[in-house]
């Protein structure tokens, strides 16, 4: 079975005004879809056909001959995870066990947000900023291009996409404003908490 573009977990207008339907139409409907279409084309008739997305990522990472397959598979996975990292009426502080762990790890939610924003804004070029679990420890990491914490044995809890196409229509070159809006108005702490409790 070929991969299909996963549907958004909300209507394309649901994140406005922080994230516009116009941005979603390009980002999900064109960029994300292109990764799905490219992946299907690249694995057709190969031993990777029929594997899960996660299996394809692990089987192609660090293989120069399969770089295009890895890049498209990882981008499909990363983007799907990103859409779930946001929700209508999101933003603000988490609650429950994840909130307690954030305070224990970073000192306060405010210190976490400051470090997360610095990591996302400081990621040179294209890539991602992540809150991940490394065993029972929380960490903020960034990855370039299509790379994903999955290949480092880390468990992603949430991510923000800092490729320029993720925010340019709404924020132009103001990446710090986009990351701040992600934290204040978009981040889906319920999704992060569910990933933390797995």
Give the domains, in start order, of the chain with CATH numbers: 21-84 (1.10.287.990), 96-196 (3.55.40.20)
Hunting for tokens 């116009």 — which residue is that? 22
Confidence at residue 24, expressed as pLDDT on a 0 to 100 scale: 96
Give the three-class secondary structure for 10. Answer: coil
Q: What share of the chain is helix, strand, coil (3-state, %, to 5)?
A: 55, 15, 35
Q: Which residues contact 89 (CB under 8 A, 6 or more apart)?
A: none
* Tokens representing residue 127 in the block: 């890539």
Answer yes or no: are the C-beta atoms of 57 and 70 closer than 8 Å.
yes
What are the pLDDT tens digits along the chain (198 aa)?
789 999 999 999 999 999 999 999 999 999 999 999 999 999 999 999 999 999 999 999 999 999 999 999 999 999 999 999 999 999 999 999 999 999 999 999 999 999 999 999 999 999 999 999 999 899 999 999 999 999 999 999 999 999 999 999 999 999 999 999 999 999 999 999 999 988
Q: Model pTM?
A: 0.96
Calpha distance 128→116 (Å, rounded): 11
CA 172 to chain centre: 20
Say how many CA atoms lie within 13 Å of 12 toward its Cβ.
10
Calpha distance 114→93 (Å, rounded): 13
Q: Which residues contact 16 (CB under 8 A, 6 or more apart)?
A: none
Confidence at residue 198, expressed as pLDDT on a 0 to 100 scale: 81
Confidence at residue 115, expressed as pLDDT on a 0 to 100 scale: 98
Calpha distance 126→17 (Å, rounded): 24
Give backbone dihedrals phi and psi of 95, rounded to 5 degrees, phi first.
-135, 175
Cis status, amide bond into 17, omega within 30 of 0: yes
Answer yes or no: are the C-beta atoms of 87 and 190 closer than 8 Å.
yes
Answer yes or no: are the C-beta atoms of 103 and 139 closer than 8 Å.
no
């Amino acid at each position: 079975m070929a991969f299909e573009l996963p549907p958004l977990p909300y209507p394309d207008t649901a994140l406005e005004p922080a994230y516009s339907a116009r941005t979603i139409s390009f980002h999900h409907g064109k960029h994300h879809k292109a990764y799905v279409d490219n992946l299907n084309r690249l694995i057709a008739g190969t031993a990777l056909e029929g594997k899960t997305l996660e299996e394809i990522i692990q089987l192609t990472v660090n293989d120069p001959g399969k770089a295009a397959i890895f890049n498209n598979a990882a981008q499909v996975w990363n983007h799907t995870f990103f859409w779930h990292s946001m929700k209508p009426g999101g933003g603000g502080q988490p609650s429950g066990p994840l909130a307690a762990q954030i305070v224990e790890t970073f000192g306060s939610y405010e210190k976490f947000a400051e470090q997360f924003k610095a990591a996302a804004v400081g990621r040179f070029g294209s890539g991602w900023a992540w809150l991940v679990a490394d065993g029972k420890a929380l960490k903020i990491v960034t990855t370039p291009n299509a790379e994903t914490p999955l290949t480092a044995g880390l468990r992603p809890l949430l991510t923000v996409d800092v490729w320029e196409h993720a925010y340019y229509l709404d924020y132009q070159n103001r990446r710090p404003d986009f990351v701040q809006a992600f934290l204040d108005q978009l981040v889906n702490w319920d999704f992060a908490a569910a990933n933390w409790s797995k």
